[in-house]
Amino acid sequence: MDRASDASLKSYAGVGGFVASRRHPAFAWIGVILVALVLIALPFALATIGTAWVRITNLAILFVFLALGLNIVVGFAGLLDLGYIAFYAVGAYVYALLASPHFNLHLPFWAILPLGAAVACMFGVLLGAPTLKLRGDYLAIVTLGFGEIIRIFLNNLSQPVNITNGPQGVTLIDPFRIGTINFRNTDTFAGLAFTGPIKYYYLLLVVLVVVIVINLRLQDSRIGRAWEAIREDEVAARAMGINTRNMKLLAFAMGASFGGIAGGMFSAMQGFISPESFILVESIMVLAMVVLGGMGNIWGVILGALLLSFAPEVLRYTVEPVQRAMFGRMLVEPEVIRMLLFGFALVLMMLFRPAGILPSATRKRELEGGRTNGVQGAAPR
């Protein structure tokens, strides 16, 4: 064997050893530990810039909850839902009404959150039951109407019996309390000041880990494979013995329960809610997070939710100073630029990465197969 061949074999062996070492479980655990340390230190790093950024991060985590819940309906089961924000509203109002002076009830959060998830789950079944035979555009229109009906009800259920306080909303909502720890106050521990937003951040982080684990288990379970079969071909799934009716209802119920939990946590964090927080644009934004990140891919959906949550805030803090520095005054509002960039990004995604930033393996194969078939079909005869 000559020297060149021997050198190439050694280099190949070295590359193979490097790849094998990267797949070693120890490297995976090291990566997990590093990510955990970054997430633990993140709120204190953000607090040096301003407490507002900790609050923004908390809202971003809430949007991750919503995107993961909608991903069950849209990404796993293939059911287009444009009224998902209604379940968010149901969870928020359940918490607000049971933990505020409105009905003079001040139940603990650990009792209200499961109740809010259960009520949202019930509303998910109520939405899913009449729409079992609808798909595509028809299902989208019905779910859109459902979301608007919920918002209108919340806006008008103040007469003759005041249930939701109408457009004025519910105020003085109780924060979370664990023993003597009030999440609205600032506590000092080990020389560190734990403000309310920082405490909420850690609680949201723990709940997020639980939600991600549940999603991963669902995706790899028989239920997840049944949802995938329904998404690909409902008739074929029914022929294979899958109870499509129950699986669809389960998808709506599971997705709605995550929205209810997120709504309850939003209500406790804000201390005030009104119907204006649950408009149609919010549903479209959550759906865009799922599409942008990659429908059916849990990590892609998380990435899409974080991008679309932080991008508007970055623009809000940078667009106005830049315009004033360049032109002496503000010419275009940050909201206008945000929607312009948002629409432009979606158009580019549909052109160049229609499956999303991190598409699921199944959806990627579908699109690549369709593109290949299209190319073959366009070949000259």
Give tens-digit pLDDT for 41-87: 999 998 888 888 999 999 999 999 999 999 999 999 888 889 999 99
CB 90 within 8 A of CB 283: no
| Crossing angle between the packed helical segments 51-71 and 25-49, to the nearest 10 degrees | 130
pLDDT value at residue 201: 94
For 89-127, the pLDDT digits (tens) are 999 999 999 999 989 988 999 999 999 999 999 999 998
Mean pLDDT on 220-234: 89
139 falls within a domain? yes
Query: How far is 314 from 320, CA to CA, in rounded Å?
Result: 11
pLDDT surpassing 60 at residue 378: no
Model confidence at 381, pLDDT cuts 50, 70, 90, reads: very low
272-289: b or e for each residue (b if 16 or more CB lie within 10 Å)?
ebbbebbeeebbebbbbb
Of 13-27, 32-46, 271-285, 308-322, give the lowest mean pLDDT range.
13-27
CB 196 within 8 A of CB 183: yes
372 falls within a domain? no
Higher pLDDT, 12 or 246: 246
1 falls within a domain? no
Q: Can you say whether the dihedral through the CA atoms of 47, 49, 52, 54 is positive or negative?
A: negative
95 falls within a domain? yes
pLDDT surpassing 50 at residue 335: yes
Mean pLDDT on 342-362: 81
Mean pLDDT on 355-359: 83
pLDDT surpassing 90 at residue 357: no
Query: How far is 76 from 225, CA to CA, in rounded Å?
Result: 8
For 269-294, the pLDDT digits (tens) are 999 999 998 998 889 899 999 988 88
Query: How far is 54 from 297, CA to CA, in rounded Å?
Result: 27
Which three-class secondary structure state does DSSP give residue 66?
helix
Containing domain of residue 59, as a range? 27-362
The partner residues of 100 in beta bridges, in order of sequence, read 105
| In the block, residue with structure tokens 């119920």 | 253
11 falls within a domain? no
| HEC-encoded secondary structure of 362-374 | HHHHHHHHHHHHH
Query: How far is 151 from 283, CA to CA, in rounded Å?
Result: 12
Which three-class secondary structure state does DSSP give residue 143?
helix
pLDDT value at residue 92: 95
381 falls within a domain? no
Query: How far is 160 from 167, CA to CA, in rounded Å?
Result: 15
17 falls within a domain? no
Number of structural domains (the chain) is 1
Beta strands in 190-328 (DSSP E): 192-194
pLDDT value at residue 15: 43
Q: What is the CATH number of the domain that holds 309?
A: 1.10.3470
Contacts of 239 (CB under 8 A, 6+ apart): none
CB 43 within 8 A of CB 201: yes
Average pLDDT, the chain: 85
Ramachandran quadrant class, 170 (left: phi over 0; alpha: psi -120 to 50; beta: rest): beta
Q: Can you say whether the dihedral through the CA atoms of 298, 355, 278, 52 is positive or negative?
A: positive
Query: How far is 245 from 240, CA to CA, in rounded Å?
Result: 14
92 falls within a domain? yes
pLDDT value at residue 19: 43
Residue 273 DSSP one-character state: B
Element (H, E) at 175: none
Rounded to the nearest 5 percent, the helix, strand and coil shares of the chain are: 75, 5, 20
Mean pLDDT on 342-367: 78
pLDDT surpassing 80 at residue 24: no
Contacts of 283 (CB under 8 A, 6+ apart): 81, 82, 83, 84, 85, 86, 144, 147
